[in-house]
Amino acid sequence: MGRFIAMLRKEFAQLLGDVPILFILFWAFSGNIYVMGHAITSELRNYPVAVLDLARSPASRELVSRLRAPHFKLVGSVSSDAELVHALDAGNASVGLVIPPDFDRAIAEGKASFQVISDGTLSRTATIAGSHLARIAQDFNRDILQTRGLIVAGIPQVDARLRVAYNPNISNPWFSSLLEMMNVITMVSMLLTAAAMVREKTYGTLEQLLVSPLRPAELFAAKIIPTVVLVLVFSLMALFGVVQGVFGTPIRGSLLLFYSVTVLYTACVASLGLVIAMLARNIAQVMMLLLLIMYPMLMLSGAITPPESMAPWVQYLSLLSPLRYYFDFSYQVLFKGNGLAYVWHDIFGIVVLGALMFGFAVRRFKRLFA
């Protein structure tokens, strides 16, 4: 225990004495999360619309007036198809609305229609805009029927209302800030541990550690524990200072459960950092390997695409991503307030993957330096 504590003191002194690393960590857990909380959004805000109104009638003006903030922004009217195409090609508008000249007569005959031309470069946003326009057309149609008395009181009607659980206002910063905090925890845990181990190789001090009484498992544990402590402190700052403090994200679950599992998860991905360190020869290779591993982990985590929407073989492959378990656990605990009975399988996955990666790193170390 004495030699292990001495190694821990050395690691803490080395890590806390690296001012640039501490500054980068402070920015990653504060400014970076704040920026990403505002940057990543699927909300439709001020989507630019150009209108080609060939009818110029009260009904067409009523329809155009419904394209209002915060979802849409009218950037102007055009007088021809060529001007509309130019507005879309130049990026001045993302949606073109074409109202035919016989719009009023078609309404009277019950077969009115208008055309929407959408710029599909950003397909996700274009799809959301199309959904909003379809809802506007539906509301416009219902109002016309009510005006003509075709909807009679007392006749059963379907009133579809969407209620979102746990995030009723669909506030994207709640989701994106927490997502970025978990990404930063993952990246920092791997990077700090891998960099600390590769630094020993670069400076030639690894040979000194090899002749010390430390066992490989003790050496790796001494590398992991300072990372766990540092990540835990900065993640507390991020959760209460940015995620909850700035964005007002509600925390419904047990913080003790969340941070207990965060300690396990940090140790898990730090073990993956040790695996990277066993494969890399310098910091540059560490960064390349880290990016090579991080992006597939993120894609398979379910944060971008739900696992149930993936191909069957990809769903099985996603079980190898620690982020999948951590994302699912964090959202269930912090957003839903679920307890251990609902998240035990995520904790089990984190522990199993962490043990496998730590064991692989120790075995690889023994083979390389036996």
The answer to the question of residue 333 being in a domain is yes
Residues 186 and 299 in one domain: yes
Residues 124 and 186 in one domain: no
The answer to the question of residue 177 being in a domain is yes
Residues 31 and 66 in one domain: no
Residue 96 near residue 84 (C-beta atoms within 8 A) = yes
The answer to the question of residue 179 being in a domain is yes
Could you give the CA distance from residue 161 to residue 164 in angstroms, rounded to a whole number?
A: 10
The answer to the question of residue 161 being in a domain is no
Which residue range is the domain that position 141 belongs to? Answer: 47-147
Residues 214 and 362 in one domain: yes
> Please, what are the averages of pLDDT over each run of 10 residues along the chain (370 residues)?
82 86 92 85 83 91 88 90 91 92 86 89 84 88 74 62 78 88 94 87 74 79 90 94 92 93 94 88 88 89 84 90 93 92 95 92 77
Boundary of a domain, candidates 115, 147, 179: 147
Q: What is the pTM of this model?
A: 0.81
For residue 44, give the nearest of 125, 119, 116, 122 by alpha carbon: 125
Residues 36 and 51 in one domain: no
Residues 335 and 188 in one domain: yes
The count of structural domains within the chain is: 2
Residues 199 and 339 in one domain: yes
Q: Which helix (H) or strand (E) holds 95?
A: strand 95-99
Residues 113 and 134 in one domain: yes
Residues 15 and 59 in one domain: no
Could you give the CA distance from residue 312 to residue 308 in angstroms, rounded to a whole number?
A: 8
The answer to the question of residue 158 being in a domain is no
Q: Which residues are CB-contacts of 233 (< 8 A; sequence separation ≥ 6)?
A: none
Residues 15 and 90 in one domain: no
For residue 33, give the nearest of 176, 167, 171 by alpha carbon: 176
Residues 277 and 245 in one domain: yes
Q: What CATH code is carried by the domain that includes residue 109?
A: 3.40.1710.10
pLDDT of residue 122: 79
Boundary of a domain, candidates 147, 162, 181: 147
Q: For 302-354, how does the pLDDT look when each residue is reduced to its tens digit (9 = 90+)?
A: 888 888 888 889 999 999 999 999 999 999 999 899 999 999 999 999 999 99
